[in-house]
A and B are shown apart, each in its own frame.
Chain A
């Protein structure tokens, strides 16, 4: 128990209690009575006084009761507080999982078709209904007027749909308004958000911020398919950092059936043959989480026209592995340790198609064997046309490079002298140079610019130099060979080194280097280079003197820089060089690993790079809604998070890149389609978990909890004083009959 104002109570007690006793003496106005003889009375008084010196006080129940009442009032003045166990928490955080798996229609065994989200909403509303109403007395005894609750809906990202309030109507409205999202689940975002929304006060004793109004009860309404729940750490050192009170109670309300099975597409990939770009390979992977094997038809449609149907048989869910020793899947294996492994299978469709298109893979499940989750039975893939890159080689003449690029079967290869490139650059993006339209050139026409042993003069990145220009990287996608831009986009050159160097380390996972054959490379003449402070470069290969190949990224530029001259090495005479140039160009042009069919995952943010100079960009969502986008200087646009699977279309006015098609014939508007797919084996494994494993504790479903709360005692003491005063009055009136 803590006393908020003990000294005041002590002072008041020192004054009030003696006063009451003196008043008690003073207030005695004795009734005069004439009696036959005082003989026996005197004797009685003497008898009593003989063995009780304070008989008058002690025997007076009235004084005793008055003292009790006074004591209760004085104690109330001390404002005592206790930590009380209460069955109802004062602050509740309702975390409602709205991820894809919550759309499974096994929320209520009694009512088929009820989604888990519906069941979770129902459970959350039940919690809201059970919340204590604020009333006058609870507002006196506790910090809050009744229970308060906050509603957070989470998938990959968490969103506060209702901040702390005691209004049940608002909470219910907020809960009802939660829409399902086709995203994977991430609990940590939601927990962090819940903590961030809790009002904090600084606890002087603990020397850290603590949640005001006592600990919260965190209700998690989910099916338990939370791959990151193991990362939610409630250990003491984490608590102080994350501001999670150790008294917080996590209650897990499981939605859905534990034995629900599901058929899902877990991967869809469209790839063009390297040799024959017109041939399209579409790979579909599926998983089965039913206990028994299932045979399912996989339908492939291109641009909504069904082309082929293949039948595959997926094995049933198998028992849990004895030990998960695969380091690559360590993260996942921890979350699913002891869980059965879904049966997986795949099918490859091969077709001849040079045009761009949208591939749709669909699992056709017979009506009577339909699974609970429909959103993962469908996947989309966008594949670009069999078109090659448009590359500008800025060179004074380089036989190796020109030969390598010509051999790449590019759609367009233009060799531009450095002076002309510099004038194009000075003219600005989108501007054309040259005399007639046929030979007019624009920077926006090229996917990638290759700079051979030359750097254009550009303004300083931070603009500090005014109009002064230094050698640097132009905006756009650039492959630099045999030149070193200065920091921050480049490296500090410490001079030439004449002795041969070999690559001692490189990033084998990097798409540009995977086939480059760097292990056999000997550099005859290189430069000693250093990475400057606050540099934007990433070293992807390193020789004994320092960085050998680096990658750099800024708002406007994305570049792979090879500082040494390949001509001064044995690289050009090896196949690795050609492969390096090819994969570098592909990598730079496609912003990431070379996958022809890029797929987004709901919950992510859509980030695209439109051609430089794109205007009036607009995004169409799968449900038809439209948003205007404003491209950044380098043409990148962003929108997010994505909530639904399906096809997202960006359209704009301006030039087109590979894969972009005009909105309609003759229009200057161009559109680009992007596919968002769930394609998440973990999310598609929909059997509800009966227990939620957190890093520091296991939370069983529907576990009832109690929370600690500071309870103020003074209203109770005042009540007690009132009661004692009433009792005193009663006793006073009944005293004759004692």
Chain B
């Protein structure tokens, strides 16, 4: 919750993604609950039936069908013509959005560092599995940083460079940023939004912008342990790091209880909002081990497989 006095800033990709973690995630792949059509032939099953070796279905022959696809064994047995359909395999677009506003640069461990780590891991998984990976970050003044159309393990260092270059600062209109991201993204696929979702103007608008348009949205809410259980006391003047808003308060047991209740209610509303719109929501305290989160929690949630 409190601004991190001297936050950890990654220098290289290895700071975000140690080699041993990279080795462990090599077996994972990004999953989508929906099957999307891609642009290029990839390792991903497409909606379209195609020319892969994987059998998908049979269907009645109709006039004009390619005779090469008729299942002759079946014709011999049933004396009727069926076409043998095969699955088409395509690549998947994986878009990772990182909130780089000043509010992310708080907490112990630092929330932004956690977001960087998580982004790097998910991006690495996408690249390894030959998915089309894009990275976006929005920070002060809703400025956007993009890294698009990465494919293949070789581009991992580009990801590292991009993430290491990010510096959280200022405030941003998440809705504005989301709108621009939604307009600029192409194709269909999985989008991972890493933020604390403490948007003064509300989280509803940006999420609504991002969901849909062929994207499966995954919202990872990063909160510091201090935000969940504030370790503060006394008479305080709390200053918002983003907009400088000031709240004067005297910490008391009822106030802390009220804060926790409000936080829980906030979480609950966010979760309900996401569920109602088919958005996967996950709370990730910043003191969570990234490897464990990826290997265990994200697989359970269906982002990875």
Contact, CB under 8 Å: A34 / B2: yes
A36 to B246, CA, bound (A): 12
Chain B proximity of A23: nearest CB distance (Å): 14
Contact, CB under 8 Å: A40 / B266: yes
Chain B positions near chain A (C-beta within 8 angstroms): 1-3, 103-104, 106-107, 111, 196, 198, 200, 224, 227, 231-242, 245-256, 258-259, 262-263, 266
Whose C-beta in chain A lies nearest to the C-beta of B223?
Answer: A36
Q: Which residues of B contact A736 (CB under 8 A)?
A: 231-234, 251
Whose C-beta in chain A lies nearest to the C-beta of B224?
Answer: A36
- Provide 20 A-B residue pairs closer than 8 Å at the C-beta atoms, listed in order of the A residue: A28-B235, A31-B236, A32-B237, A32-B239, A34-B106, A35-B3, A35-B238, A35-B240, A36-B103, A36-B106, A36-B111, A37-B240, A38-B245, A38-B246, A40-B263, A44-B258, A48-B255, A59-B252, A59-B255, A738-B252
CB < 8 Å: which of B234, B242, B262 contacts A31? B234
Q: Which residues of A contact B258 (CB under 8 A)?
A: 44, 47-48
Contact, CB under 8 Å: B239 / A44: no
CB < 8 Å: which of B231, B234, B262 contacts A735? B234
Contact, CB under 8 Å: A36 / B233: no
Contact, CB under 8 Å: A31 / B235: yes
A533 to B244, CA, bound (A): 111
Q: Which residues of B contact A33 (CB under 8 A)?
A: 2, 232, 236-239
Whose C-beta in chain B lies nearest to the C-beta of A32?
Answer: B237
Chain A proximity of B224: nearest CB distance (Å): 7
Contact, CB under 8 Å: B250 / A60: yes
Contacts A36-B1, A36-B196; is A45 near B240 (CB within 8 Å)? Answer: no
CB < 8 Å: which of B111, B246, B253, B262 contacts A44? B262
CB < 8 Å: which of A29, A31, A35 contacts B241? A35
Contact, CB under 8 Å: A735 / B233: yes
Contacts A30-B235, A38-B238; is A43 near B106 (CB within 8 Å)? Answer: no
A41 to B241, CA, bound (A): 14
Chain B proximity of A714: nearest CB distance (Å): 33
Contacts A35-B238, A37-B198, A738-B252; is A44 near B233 (CB within 8 Å)? Answer: no
Is residue A39 contacting chain B, with contact meaning CB distance below 8 A? yes
Interface-centre pick from A32, A33, A42 (highest chain B CB count, 10 A): A33
Whose C-beta in chain A lies nearest to the C-beta of B105?
Answer: A36
Chain A proximity of B100: nearest CB distance (Å): 13
Is residue A56 contacting chain B, with contact meaning CB distance below 8 A? yes
Q: Which residues of B contact A43 (CB under 8 A)?
A: 262
Q: Which residues of B contact A29 (CB under 8 A)?
A: 235
CB < 8 Å: which of A31, A42, A59, A737 contacts B237? A31
Q: Which residues of B contact A39 (CB under 8 A)?
A: 198, 200
A462 to B159, CA, bound (A): 140
A56 to B250, CA, bound (A): 8
Q: Which residues of A contact B232 (CB under 8 A)?
A: 33, 736
CB proximity to B under 8 Å, residues A13-68: 28-45, 47-48, 56, 59-61
Contact, CB under 8 Å: A45 / B200: no
Interface-centre pick from B242, B247, B255 (highest chain A CB count, 10 A): B247
Contacts A42-B247, A44-B258, A60-B252; is A34 near B239 (CB within 8 Å)? Answer: yes
A37 to B182, CA, bound (A): 26
Chain A proximity of B148: nearest CB distance (Å): 29
Q: Which residues of B contact A32 (CB under 8 A)?
A: 236-237, 239
Q: Which residues of A contact B262 (CB under 8 A)?
A: 40, 43-44, 47
Contact, CB under 8 Å: B247 / A41: yes
CB < 8 Å: which of A40, A48, A737 contacts B254? A48
Q: Which residues of A contact B263 (CB under 8 A)?
A: 40
Q: Which residues of A contact B3 (CB under 8 A)?
A: 34-36
Whose C-beta in chain B lies nearest to the C-beta of A30?
Answer: B237
Q: 20 other contacts beyond A35-B3, A40-B266, with CB at 8 A cut-off?
A: A28-B250, A30-B235, A30-B237, A35-B238, A36-B106, A36-B107, A36-B111, A36-B224, A37-B242, A38-B245, A38-B246, A38-B247, A39-B200, A40-B262, A40-B263, A60-B250, A61-B252, A735-B251, A736-B233, A737-B233
Give A409-431 as 1s and 0s: 1 = Cβ < 8 Å from B's Cβ atoms.
00000000000000000000000
Q: Which residues of A contact B256 (CB under 8 A)?
A: 738
Chain B proximity of A171: nearest CB distance (Å): 58
CB proximity to B under 8 Å, residues A379-420: none
A28 to B237, CA, bound (A): 10
A40 to B238, CA, bound (A): 11
Q: Which residues of A contact B247 (CB under 8 A)?
A: 38, 41-42, 45
Contacts A39-B200, A44-B262, A45-B255; is A30 near B248 (CB within 8 Å)? Answer: yes
